Amino acid sequence: MCSFPVPPVVLQLFLLLFLASPATACTEQEKRNLLRFLDGLSCDGGLATSWRNNGTDCCKWEGISCNGDGAVTGVSLESKGLEGPISPFLTNLTSLLRVNLSHNSFSDGLPAELMFSGSIIVLDLSFNRLNGPLPELPPFLTTDRPLQVLNISSNQFSSQFPSATWKVINSLIALNASNNSFTGNMPSSLCLGSPYLALLDLCYNQLSGDIPNTLGNCSKLKVLKAGNNNLSGILPVETFHATLLEYLSFPNNGLQGELDGAHIVKVSNLATLDLGGNHFSGKIPESIYLLKRLEELHLGSNNMSGELPSTLGNCTNLKTIDLKINNFSGDLGKQFGCTETVGQPFPW
């Protein structure tokens, strides 16, 4: 359940940025910086040959896009077989808006110059071999950074999330840090520094401790995922103060307590609720029928019990419901004729 659904605003941003087309040739300085980036690779996957065969105008090179002044605005080199460290020379491209280096074999750490760039809006470094901690906020940096989309999923990052980093990345819309080895607590100051955050994916890490109640301050948050970690404690009721949530997923952790029926109804846009593989107890709240948009309900492998609420049948958009390995009683089959159920035979 740890795919990466992207909010529409992020897709619109990608489309807007990738439609630019150059009107003039690139400058010599832009070309030099790109070649220095290339020189820093231990394996260029044939990119040097490709660029050489496309002439001296770097705006026509594979994976490079420019604006009308010949300044490089995009570097899109995903799945090119590139290996080695990421050269900070990329940040000398002062008009650079988007960087996509995903699905390569980049190694070493994430250069602070990239993360705290004064121009980059979209940074996708997913599916590489980057490692170490995320860069700390440089003490001299006090002005806000424009980064809106950061995808560092499926790497080898470790250590804790730096707490001060997000103070200057206050335009962040999407952060995907899933499939790494981050430790420590979930970042608690994200939405204090980044009030526009709509997507937070921390699945498949080694995070521990309680879920911070400050997530309720994420007033724009639509996707919150932190499954397959070592989180413990309760699901704070403040989480449901993020009333725009559409996808709430914390499967396979050590969470406990009961679902609060009075607060869960505040997330009326919720389409997926995945809390399977935890230690939740108590009943399914009767008020769950008020989640009219709910499509997937995953509560399997918990310690829940009691009569299945008759109101579940009023969740007319439910397509999948997983309640296996609990102590429920009742016949769910009578309520859902066409819903995919997991965990038969009844009672559960």
Residue 252 domain-assigned (yes or no):
yes
The answer on pLDDT for 57 being more than 50 is yes
Q: Residue 138 — pLDDT band, cuts 50, 70, 90? A: confident
Establish if 57 belongs to a structural domain.
Answer: yes
How much is the pLDDT for 190? 85
Does residue 19 fall inside a structural domain?
no
The range of the structural domain enclosing residue 340 comes to: 283-348
- Predicted local confidence at residue 188, as pLDDT: 87
Could you tell me if 138 and 192 lie in one domain? yes
Residues 129 and 244 in one domain: yes
pTM of the predicted structure, to 2 decimals = 0.89
pLDDT exceeds 60 at position 222: yes
Q: What is the 3-state secondary structure (H, E, C) of 249-301?
A: ECCCCEEEECCCHHHHCCCCCCCEEECCCCEEEECCCHHHHHCCCCCEEECCC
Q: Is residue 168 very low, low, confident or very high in pLDDT (cuts 50, 70, 90)?
A: confident
**What does the pLDDT average to over 227-250?**
97
Look at residue 328 and give its three-state secondary structure.
strand
Domain match, 93 and 146 both: no
For the residues of 45-108, what is the DSSP string, one character each?
TTHHHHHHHT-S-GGGSTTEEE-TTS-EEEEE-TTS--EEEPPGGGGG-TT--EEE--SSEEES
Q: Are 141 and 191 in a shared domain?
A: yes
The answer to whether residues 93 and 128 belong to one domain is no
Model pLDDT for residues 298-339, shown as the tens digit of each residue:
999 999 999 999 888 888 899 999 999 999 998 776 665 545
User: Is the predicted pLDDT of residue 155 greater than 70, yes or no?
Assistant: yes
Q: Of the segments 93-102, 131-140, 339-348, which one has the largest average pLDDT value?
A: 93-102
